[in-house]
Amino acid sequence: MKKFRITPVDGGVCAVDGIYAGGVNAGFKKEGFDLGFIRSENEMDVAYLFTTNRFQAAPIKYVLRKGIKKTNFILANSKNANALTGEEGIKDIDEILGFLSSKINTVNPVMSSTGVIGVRLDKEKIKKGIEKFDFNERNSNKFAKAIMTTDSFEKEISFEVEGDFGRFKIGGVAKGAGMINPAMATMLCFITTDADIPQNEMKEILSEINENTFNAISVDGDTSTNDSVFLMTTRKGSYDKEAFKEALREVMQKLALDIVKDGEGATKAVAFVVTGAKDKKEAKIVGKNFTNSLLVKTALFGEDPNWGRIASTVGASGVECDETKLRISFENVFVYDRGNILFDEETEKKAHEIMKKREFKIYVDLGIGNGAFTAYGCDLSYDYVKINAEYRT
Amino acid sequence: MKKFRITPVDGGVCAVDGIYAGGVNAGFKKEGFDLGFIRSENEMDVAYLFTTNRFQAAPIKYVLRKGIKKTNFILANSKNANALTGEEGIKDIDEILGFLSSKINTVNPVMSSTGVIGVRLDKEKIKKGIEKFDFNERNSNKFAKAIMTTDSFEKEISFEVEGDFGRFKIGGVAKGAGMINPAMATMLCFITTDADIPQNEMKEILSEINENTFNAISVDGDTSTNDSVFLMTTRKGSYDKEAFKEALREVMQKLALDIVKDGEGATKAVAFVVTGAKDKKEAKIVGKNFTNSLLVKTALFGEDPNWGRIASTVGASGVECDETKLRISFENVFVYDRGNILFDEETEKKAHEIMKKREFKIYVDLGIGNGAFTAYGCDLSYDYVKINAEYRT
């Protein structure tokens, strides 16, 4: 039995005492917020995970070069990724953060960006935006809105965790809807907490939870230049490793699934539960291949229980598999069982009914070993094509 | 200077003397041919390449188990892949080919299938179709039509090759429009020739030419269970290795590019010319990632010179790369040159004009080494989604 209780609370990243957040329109979006901040009264310890894309964006290089371990300020913008902008992209950040520091006391401020690749930041617009900030605002939702690109809703969550060990709070905000294929998922995520986590455990725990949350989702198989997850703590609360991991998992799972549900043009969020693979690595390969297969994704959109595409994807994955050991079911409706095709008119109808739902699970057991991984994906609709064919225009 | 001349001739696979081909409607398609044959007066030596999908379809297993090296008959059907059908799928082939042999003299007949995965063949329909065959027909085009699934046009080509060494003919037919991602491309291809190729060179040459033709194309990144290329020779003609390789390349290149042009819903065929990679393997990874990136493919459809997506795809490929060495151009219009963004209003307009074309090239030089590979892909349109969401319905 758990020795702790996790309770949803309001506030997003501002659920944590001493955290402020807000957003303004700096003129990048026609309307709505496009520049936001999260700041803390005192400096916070910070851990981060960044994209595996070799062309890491300027804001990521900036953080890595400075080797930032403590910060009290996150500045984030949408509509421009500041990626592929070279040394000038980094100088732009320096200038912007220098200007910021003339307005408010900052300790190792961090910038985070998302949007179009390969365009220099408009520094003047950002400076004017900074001048509009109300630094005493505690509005996580405005920040969540400010980092949205093609997202259709804000992604926020916060909890209070209590147990024998004491209590802490944790809150997170994320953005992401396209260019989503983990390692990291193409997204930005900011998590605040007051849990008194040992500095040396922060990155380890963040990586561990990330593996089954953000690294388990895919919208389109494209890994962006800007993926970032930040975990920041004020250390004013208590800490219990088990409780913290559980709470962090709740936060990251919720935000990751929100990204899939908000996948560009997506009408469905589907969990591919892969079991029986040789090992976890192979289970993950198969799971991710489901979420990235155009033929699987279009079948989801068509609500067509075309299980042959699922089987074919397993075979194409290069993992150890055997068609006489494979089992496939849509929820509890088995369509293929170790060499036997169970797909008839009745099964097809039942599976089709399941696929009409907004969220459902597809189970694939390889029957080889004990490797398991659940990948989360969405369908591929006309709107995905529309959104991405017209992104810049 | 070449010592030989390659001249286009009519006839497809029947351009070669002693080859017969035809097609009938066996009732799988509402109208049009869905069952076809290629046969030879005398037995032919045969070499083949099959899908890397671990769930190879029954017709492929059949050929591999029999270890067929000579044949005089290919029977091919569309609308049903006979894949994931287990031992029964193989027995079905045995029964069908047994029936065929009661109608005409066959030597190691081969069956080849394409269509929906996971459904048993309707043997009775196929037998009735076989009874309708006119075995003395020499109509390659009917065969080409019989193997089409979502293809919108027949894919056929034939040449006569003459030189000091003598002469030979070569003809090919292919099908494929979706589930196309080489290793093999998801497709069927049948090539006949009378070139007197040494048996031990057939597979080697076929593999070599395949690498830069069928294995260089992608429509949707999905590798099917049925991909097959057959090369068959009657050995009645002459042979010169260089001339034969050149002619085979012409045949396979034409058929591979036809598949990309006919990519499901495709409005454009694009060559991604990757140079300067560490080695050919890395160049191929990058090239194939371009042809499989949803964000690149939707940008092609939108005729949007969003070069950031191209750069990001390079970075996400995991290959050795450096943003200060990378160069990207749409035909001759450079948009990014070793750290310098050359993308302004004028460049964008020029690149956009190039992208309006039905066929064009995008050049990406990594500036690292001498690895080069050209990958051929198409755009992702609303129609791709439509075709694949409604494939079975």
Which of A51, A54, A119, A324 is most worth mutating to test chain B (most B CB atoms within 10 A of its CB)? A54
Q: Which of A53, A181, A390 sits opposite B302 (nearest CB)?
A: A390
Catalytic residues of A, which ones? Answer: 186
The lowest-confidence range among A246-250, B56-60, B215-219, B301-305 is B215-219
Average of per-residue pLDDT across A155-159: 91
pLDDT score of B151:
84
pLDDT score of A350:
95
Can you tell me the distance from the alpha carbon of A226 to that of A57, in angstroms, rounded to the nearest whole number?
Answer: 5
Which of B387, B388, B390, B391 is most worth mutating to test chain A (most A CB atoms within 10 A of its CB)? B388
Q: Is the pLDDT of residue A184 over 50?
A: no
Min Cα–Cα distance to chain B from A30, Å = 20
The proportion of chain A whose per-residue pLDDT surpasses 90, expressed as a percent, equals 60
pLDDT score of B221:
65
Tell me if A311 and B84 make a contact (CB, 8 A cut-off).
Answer: yes
pLDDT score of A182:
41
The proportion of chain B whose per-residue pLDDT surpasses 70, expressed as a percent, equals 95
Q: Are B43 and B14 in contact (CB under 8 A)?
A: no
Q: Are B243 and B55 in contact (CB under 8 A)?
A: no
In terms of Cβ atoms closer than 10 Å to its own Cβ (0-12, 13-18, 19+), residue A19 is: buried
pTM above 0.80, yes or no: no
Q: Is the pLDDT of residue B219 over 80?
A: no
Q: List chain A residues with CB under 8 Å of B384.
A: 294, 298, 385
Q: Which of B53, B178, B390 sits opposite A315 (nearest CB)?
A: B53
DSSP, residue by residue, A37-93? EEEEEEEEEEEEEE---SS--HHHHHHHHHT--EEEEEEEESSB---S-HHHHHHHH
Can you tell me the distance from the alpha carbon of B195 to that of B237, in angstroms, rounded to the nearest whole number?
Answer: 5
Tokens of B261: 């042009």
- Read off the pLDDT of residues B258-301 as tens digits, 9 standing for 90 and up: 888 887 788 898 999 999 999 999 999 999 999 988 889 888 99
Q: Categorize the per-residue pLDDT at A393 as very low, low, confident or very high, splitting at 50, 70 and 90.
A: very low
pLDDT score of B2:
60
Domains of chain B with CATH codes? 4-261 (3.60.70.12), 269-389 (3.10.20.340)
CA nearest neighbour of B265 among B152, B375, B182, B146: B152
Mean pLDDT of chain B: 89
Q: Is the pLDDT of residue A215 over 90?
A: no
Min Cα–Cα distance to chain B from A76, Å = 20
- Read off the pLDDT of residues B191-201 as tens digits, 9 standing for 90 and up: 999 999 999 99
The lowest-confidence range among A96-110, A177-191, A245-259 is A177-191
Q: Is the pLDDT of residue A183 over 60?
A: no
Tell me if A221 and B52 make a contact (CB, 8 A cut-off).
Answer: no
- Backbone φ and ψ for A278, nearest 5 degrees, come out as -55, -45
Average of per-residue pLDDT across B4-33: 93
Tell me if A392 and B314 make a contact (CB, 8 A cut-off).
Answer: no
Q: Are B269 and B365 in contact (CB under 8 A)?
A: no
pLDDT score of A220:
66
Chain-centroid distance of CA A320 in Å reads 29
pLDDT score of B183:
39
Tell me if A388 and B302 make a contact (CB, 8 A cut-off).
Answer: yes
Q: Is the pLDDT of residue B109 over 70?
A: yes
Min Cα–Cα distance to chain A from B220, Å = 6
Helix axes A280-292, A307-316, angle to 10 degrees: 130
pLDDT score of B215:
84
Catalytic residues of B, which ones? Answer: 186
Can you tell me the distance from the alpha carbon of A74 to that of A44, in angstroms, rounded to the nearest whole number?
Answer: 11
- Read off the pLDDT of residues B358-387 as tens digits, 9 standing for 90 and up: 999 999 999 999 999 999 989 988 887 887
Q: Which of B306, B385, B391 sits opposite A392 (nearest CB)?
A: B306
Helix axes A86-101, A58-66, angle to 10 degrees: 70
Can you tell me the distance from the alpha carbon of B172 to that of A158, in angstroms, rounded to the nearest whole number?
Answer: 63
